[in-house]
Structure 1
Amino acid sequence: MVLQLHVWGPAFALPSIDAQCLSAIAYCSIALPKDAWELIASSDPSVSPTGELPALQNGSTWVSRFRNIVDYLRQYSDGAWDLDRQLDESDRADNTAFASFVESRGQSLIDLSLYVTSHNYYNNTSPAYGNLLQWPNQWILPPKLHGAAKARTDHLGLSSLDLQAIEEHRQRDHSAAVAAGKIPKNLIQRPRETVSGLLGRGSSKNQFRMEALTADFFEPLEAMLGQKAYLLTLKEEDVPSSLDCIALGSLSLALVPELAFPWLRDAMRAKAPLLSAYTERLRRRCFGDSPVEVAHAYSPQSAPASPLPWRAPGRISIAAVGSTLLAELADSTPFLSEIRRNNRLKQAAADSDLTSVEKGAVSMFADSSKKDMYVSIAAAVGGVAALVGYMFHVGLISVASQEQEFEEEEEEGIPDFGNLSAGDILGL
């Protein structure tokens, strides 16, 4: 059976807009024969039972996340599709350590570059998702991804890249000052800030943090690569390892996209010229020489010669649209959203590389959160019941009944003129 790899679709001349999807595509393009798999730009996490992309489908079996996909391919092929089979024990340890390093640090920088930086998100990233997604996902998913990226990078202290949030905060402060009578209402507002202006005005702090983040990511990989063809193997004719595929996912999104404010690409070219050349070389090997366009994923016959076996995704069904809308409604409902969040947490822990003790701790935390939510529901129901009891106690309902009886008595006191003649009325 032909394996199917479902991913987020093409963007920025790359076959996917997501780093993990790019890593999975790179691994399959190197490890698998071209006739053994198909690449589908579904761009919809709901196609997978786990609700995540990338997702590998083999009949009724679904596997999501890059590490799980690599493990499944190794077991499915009895080691024939294992890119790490040539590594010794020391290299395997380096592979594991640097893979975790690339996934954590690289994803943070991609989040900052494509999502947190307002110029890039609104001018490049958001339109790219608009070209990939169908209704209603084109209105639902980008804000969710934007918010998740901002939450993941909030601890890095570079929120100044999010100019929209800064502008909204400034307007709130302005409105509060107007309400307090501190400034006249007709005061002309300052023009919107720019990224260069912010980084220039607070340059010492913001620029230092950006320099430190990019140096901490690029320089170790540059030193590890050295003059080698790949990060772990020595000869160019050797096969890349899974670490090279993981690195390509983040590095290609740092180097290739043409963005409104390409600070990450500029830092990579300046700090890691060998790594930049390595990324371009590996990108051509895995994704082909020609830039990947969205049309290639939806109309594979229009794509030039490529190592990627594109297959057009199926049309979205009415049932899928309804499921998406119901899921969004559930996520917007307080109690239902908490239940779904706890279920996703337990599922993520079950699919992760955590130990059994850690998985048990996460499961206990999710169950505890669910119990707390049930207590909150019971408290809310009890509050409503107490309110209804209070209404009975003070007689609000009985007052309504008395008013109804008074109206009935008034109706009974009005004579029925329908059965009286004119003589009866005049007393004749």
Structure 2
Amino acid sequence: MVLELHVWGPAFGLPSIEPECIATVAYCQRVIPKGDWTLVAEHDPTVGATESLPILFDDDVATASGFEDIVAYLRNHPAVTNDLDVNLSSRQQIDRTAFITFLQSTATPLIDLSLYVSAENYNTATSSAYTAILPWYANYTVPPKRRDLARARTAHMGLSSLDVDTTAEEGFAPGRGTASSEYEAAKRAAGIPTESQPSAMSMGRGKGLGGLLGGQVYAARFRLDALSGELLDPLSDLLGKRDHLFRGEQPSSLDCLAFGYLSLLYFPTVPQAWLRETIQTKYPRIGAYIRKLRKEFFYTDEVDPVDVWSVSTGAKKSLRSTSLPWTARSQTLASSTVASAKEILGNIPGLSALSRRHNVVVSQPTLVSKRVRSELPSPLFVNTLLGVTTVFAVGLASLAVHHRRSPREGELIFWALRPTTGLGEAGSILSVFANSLHDGAMY
């Protein structure tokens, strides 16, 4: 009996691009003996009942999803002999639960702002990171969906100036330096004390405080510093001078979750690295803590998405350069074709709404003579859709054979190729499909 953990694929040298996936991999690495579990880089969250990653399979059955549920399941699993939280006091157990909720509520918006809302970071780093872990057709739909979700979660924060798709681009133009460096330079020019040069405030030099606050970039930086402090101040107080949050010698499950979130704030190489700069300058103990946890959980490994993709697709049997038990997805050409067809059809406006099923709720017992009109699609629609899907799947299979070049061969960034009109997100994919068929007809 081998446990199988499905997670979003690796990015930025980390085992996943999603914080709770990183945390779950770290936890499994510490508590499950080698050879009793495998790791699958997944891009389809519908493999489980909850449609969210990470998902743990036990004997080919989806048993738990999400960090907390998986930790709770593994505590009672016979293969697990090491409970990271067994020696926590009752007070520490309460603090653990409180800090898990705290991490999820305060660190998630920071990751959203850094990797998705910031247009320069998304276009330069995040989009290409997804290119390395997704099949070609999913690059047109998955990253934009996750970015839209991040925008929605952070819309109330008033930091839309980070998204230069909707504001003036001059503040974050490539080559202008990071927001942090420009922020510090502007403070020095205005005679305001900085992190590197404490001095008395002089309002008679440069633009003064009013000019400093006038720029959208600098106003956003004030807000970002406050949001960072809301997360890092309590964590710094809890850590103190210890090596781990609750005990000095051994990590707990809370350390695993903290690493999952903090690692995505610290390790990604992005143009606007204000989070990493904040940790390095204001919270050096937190920075040392993050680096120490990485060595404890993953030794000196840096996960290469290209290698993991080769294992996931079956091109390689295993990876000798990593301690993680990566294995291939159990996916055939037919299932891959169906998944791609489902992804494309599900993003065509109108068609996805028509094919979506609805539950019919009856508030009182239904009489035999009374006819209840179902909201399910009619048999004619279902048969028609099935025929269209079959024809489309066959064509897509031929396209997949024609489109053998892996997107991991280059730094492709699919956001630049997607039109925003017509059929929406699926339009660009269909245009690629049509062009490929046209090219085939030429030969």
TM norm structure 2: 0.66
The residue aligned with 1:309 is 325
Shift of 1:37: 0.6
In the aligned structure 2, how far is the partner of 1:316 from the partner of 1:3?
A: 21
**Is residue 100 of structure 1 aligned with residue 101 of structure 2?**
yes
Unaligned runs of 5+ in 1: 168-190, 344-363, 365-373, 378-428
- Equivalenced residue count is 322
Alpha-carbon contact 2:303-2:322 (below 8 Å) kept: no
The residue aligned with 1:34 is 34
**Is residue 207 of structure 1 aligned with residue 218 of structure 2?**
no
Counterpart amino acid of residue 287 in structure 1: F
The residue aligned with 2:89 is 88
Shift of 1:27: 0.5
Shift of 1:332: 4.5
Q: Deviations over 1:83-129 (max 9, x none)?
A: 21111110000000001111111111011100011111000000010
**Is residue 7 of structure 1 aligned with residue 38 of structure 2?**
no
Counterpart amino acid of residue 253 in structure 2: S
In the aligned structure 1, how far is the partner of 2:355 from the partner of 2:348?
A: 12
Shift of 1:267: 1.1
Relative to structure 1, the CA distance from residue 291 to residue 330 in structure 2 (aligned partners, 3 Å threshold; closer, same or farther) is closer
Q: Deviations over 1:200-249 (max 9, x none)?
A: 6135532221110001111110111011121011x32x3x1111011000
In the aligned structure 2, how far is the partner of 1:338 from the partner of 1:94?
A: 47
Alpha-carbon contact 1:215-1:271 (below 8 Å) kept: no
The residue aligned with 2:121 is 120
Q: Deviations over 1:128-155 (max 9, x none)?
A: 1011111321211111111111111111
**Is residue 49 of structure 1 aligned with residue 49 of structure 2?**
yes
In the aligned structure 2, how far is the partner of 1:36 from the partner of 1:6?
A: 15
Shift of 1:314: 4.2
The residue aligned with 2:290 is 279
Structure 1 stretch 106-115 or stretch 287-296: which is displaced more?
Answer: 287-296
Relative to structure 1, the CA distance from residue 324 to residue 46 in structure 2 (aligned partners, 3 Å threshold; closer, same or farther) is farther
**Is residue 194 of structure 1 aligned with residue 172 of structure 2?**
yes
Alpha-carbon contact 1:10-1:293 (below 8 Å) kept: yes
**Is residue 289 of structure 1 aligned with residue 300 of structure 2?**
yes
Q: Deviations over 1:255-286 (max 9, x none)?
A: 11111111111112122111110110111111
In the aligned structure 2, how far is the partner of 1:114 from the partner of 1:255?
A: 11
In the aligned structure 2, how far is the partner of 1:218 from the partner of 1:159?
A: 23
Relative to structure 1, the CA distance from residue 337 to residue 90 in structure 2 (aligned partners, 3 Å threshold; closer, same or farther) is farther
Relative to structure 1, the CA distance from residue 154 to residue 160 in structure 2 (aligned partners, 3 Å threshold; closer, same or farther) is same
Q: Percent identity?
A: 37
- The structure with the largest alpha-carbon Rg is 1
The residue aligned with 2:195 is none
Alpha-carbon contact 1:15-1:287 (below 8 Å) kept: no
The residue aligned with 2:149 is 148
Higher helix share: 1
In the aligned structure 2, how far is the partner of 1:217 from the partner of 1:142?
A: 26
Shift of 1:342: 7.8
Structure 1 stretch 93-102 or stretch 298-307: which is displaced more?
Answer: 298-307
The residue aligned with 1:421 is none
Supply the RMSD in Å over aligned alpha carbons.
Answer: 2.9
Unaligned runs of 5+ in 2: 184-211, 364-373, 378-443
Relative to structure 1, the CA distance from residue 214 to residue 45 in structure 2 (aligned partners, 3 Å threshold; closer, same or farther) is same
Match of 2:230 among 207, 210, 216: 216
**Is residue 138 of structure 1 aligned with residue 139 of structure 2?**
yes
| 3-state DSSP of counterpart to 1:246 | helix
Counterpart amino acid of residue 223 in structure 1: D
| 3-state DSSP of counterpart to 1:129 | helix
Match of 1:329 among 320, 328, 345: 345
